[in-house]
Structure 1
Amino acid sequence: MRIGVCFLPESPWREAAGLWQRADELGAAHAWTYDHLVWGGLPDSPWYSTMPTLAAAALVTERIGLGTFVASPNFRHPALLAKDVVTLDDMSDGRLLLGLGAGGDLDSQILGATHTRGQRTRRFAELVPLLDRLLTEDHVDHDGEFFTTAGARGRPGCVQQPRVPFVIAANGPRSMALAAVHGQGWVTTGRQSGPPGAPADDPAAAAERVTSWWRGVAELAAQMDRLEAERGPGQERLRRYLAIDVHGPAVLTSHTYAEEQIAQAGELGFTDVVVHWPRPEAPYRGSVAVLEKLLG
């Protein structure tokens, strides 16, 4: 099981640089940062840009994979995203992981656009194959429902060939099918299979919420099993990433609890887990010492 960390881009680089270096030194397999204009979980927090953050991280780390968690078509045009991807893959000497997802609607609303859930799904379905072409072909022409390119150049290509790995975020059937066709990895935050919410002072209800979440994760894993089986023989299996601390108690509050949760992910066929670098308060409150022990 590989363990990765995700940093919220809320700290100035003079503070964040050492954390990225520490993740690299501890032996984390990969490190990610959110790709949003603002995050609904901390709408009033300071918030820095993703691509410059990853560029800076590439220059202060040596071995750790670096990823977007996750880039979406809600404010990124695929031709511009492709150039950022090629540049970051070069700066990191082939360590970039491109997390891609349909995203929510907050980013697009900031830019003056509103998209329905169906439109976001179709935008994503158009983005992924077009981005594949932009990273592997030269002179790409495309006139789609949402995006247009005219003679977009694909030079230089990625350091990683034929292109950087796509890690596609998917919790629903259409996006999961997209991951099975175009992805080298699949990442999920899971979903609740029971009623949401649990009072903070009700341990039994909180425990049931976690159990319910794991039931949803198991359902998604089984669905991906079926999608991969449909691809036929000879296809390389997707790496499976689970964002393990998005729901329920923060994983890094206890080493025993963290080990139990990670083991459960492995039993469901996940190859990688992603935890958030511990913050001093919610969300993702936890202990760096727990993370150090997990990675040690």
Structure 2
Amino acid sequence: MTGGRTPGYRTSVRTGIVILPEHRWWFAEPKWRAAEEYGFHHAWTYDHLAWRTLVDGPWFGAVPTLTAAAMVTQRIRLGTFVASPTFRHPVPFARELLALDDISDGRLTVGVGAGGGDGYDHEVLGHPAPTRRAERFGEFVELLDKLLTRDRTTYEGTHFSAVDARSYPGAVQRPRPPFLIAANGPKAMAVAARHGQGWVTTGTPADDLDTWWRGVAELAARFTEAQHEHGRRVDRYVNLDSAPVYSLTSVETFRDAVGRAEELGFTDVVVHWPRHDGVFAGRESVLEEVAADVLPALG
């Protein structure tokens, strides 16, 4: 299977880029400005307390980072990629999101996921590995939805509760900012089909690119079934950098990945800003070429 596209080919796939929150703002700010200038439709940052191999390096909070990004951009959508119940409670998180939606003048997309079963975010809080993750995630999204669409919310769940929580004055976007819900399993897919305006997948781990794309195709087919059960239309995002080959290795690699995603019915693709070494290692010159030669033909 190949999805390569010639330079003149025009597609409707939208593009997003993740900028990790690992730099002081004087260094990070130009990246966020450039993401908009390059023509990306959305820009994201990770919502973790620290992340994998970067746990001992610099790391900053997602919401303050996105707030700063909102102040130096005008059009590009901004979002968490992705927030989770691991260290978030819907009540205070909803207040932060309302502020971010206001400051960005309605450019916020709320990316949410169930959170990993282990990792630093759990370890640093001294939490045991969570149980009933899918149930907890469903409550998290349900309560967050209520908090962002109602002036007052009282809710009693197994994992989360709220007592007369106020959300005035409400979001700029009505009825609330869109949810992008990360899901690979059937229970999380059901949450995405029920509450999401977008669904994002990372595919399944694979050692070669073709196998990874076959896994993405299988997940897309499963989500189609979940979506039909709820009778809703949901945008589809794929994280290209969960593949065994980094999407910005070359212009050709990026173009091929976008073509494959479009063939599978994805509306959006997400890549990561190149880093000097380690995860997402690449050259910013490739990103600049993609911006000049490929992005103008997308969306």
How does the TM-score come out when normalised to structure 1?
0.91
In 1, the alpha carbon distance for the partners of 2:83 and 2:200 equals 13
The residue number in structure 2 matching 1:172 is: 185
Is contact 1:35–1:50 with CA below 8 Å preserved after alignment? yes
The residue number in structure 1 matching 2:122 is: 108
Q: CA RMSD in A?
A: 1.3
Q: Please give the secondary structure, in 2, of the residue aligned with 1:263.
A: helix
Q: Please give the secondary structure, in 2, of the residue aligned with 1:270.
A: coil
Is contact 2:151–2:170 with CA below 8 Å preserved after alignment? no
Is 2:161 aligned against 1:148? yes
- Shift, 1:243, TM fit: 0.5
Alignment of 1:253-292 (within 5 A): 253-292=249-288
Gaps of 5+ in 1: 198-208
Match of 1:158 among 153, 164, 171: 171
Alignment of 1:4-153 (within 5 A): 4-104=16-116, 105-106=118-119, 107-116=121-130, 118-153=131-166
**Per-residue deviation, residues 124-181 of structure 1 (Å, max 9, x unmatched):** 1110011000001122111211112111002111101000000000011100111000
In 1, the alpha carbon distance for the partners of 2:184 and 2:240 equals 14
In 2, the alpha carbon distance for the partners of 1:130 and 1:290 equals 42
Structure 1's 171 and 284: CA in aligned 2 closer, same or farther, altered over 3 A? same
The residue number in structure 2 matching 1:250 is: 246
Question: What is the count of residue pairs matched by the alignment?
Answer: 278
The residue number in structure 2 matching 1:218 is: 217
Q: Which runs of 4+ in 1 moved over 3 A?
A: none
In 1, the alpha carbon distance for the partners of 2:255 and 2:218 equals 22
Match of 1:241 among 237, 246, 258: 237
Gaps of 5+ in 2: 1-12, 293-299
How does the TM-score come out when normalised to structure 2?
0.90
In 1, the alpha carbon distance for the partners of 2:123 and 2:54 equals 17
In 1, the alpha carbon distance for the partners of 2:15 and 2:281 equals 18
Q: Please give the secondary structure, in 2, of the residue aligned with 1:46.
A: coil
Q: Please give the secondary structure, in 1, of the residue aligned with 2:78.
A: strand
In 2, the alpha carbon distance for the partners of 1:33 and 1:229 equals 31
Which structure has more RCO (C-alpha within 8 Å, separation ≥ 6)?
Answer: 2
Q: Please give the secondary structure, in 1, of the residue aligned with 2:15.
A: strand
Identity of aligned residues (%): 52
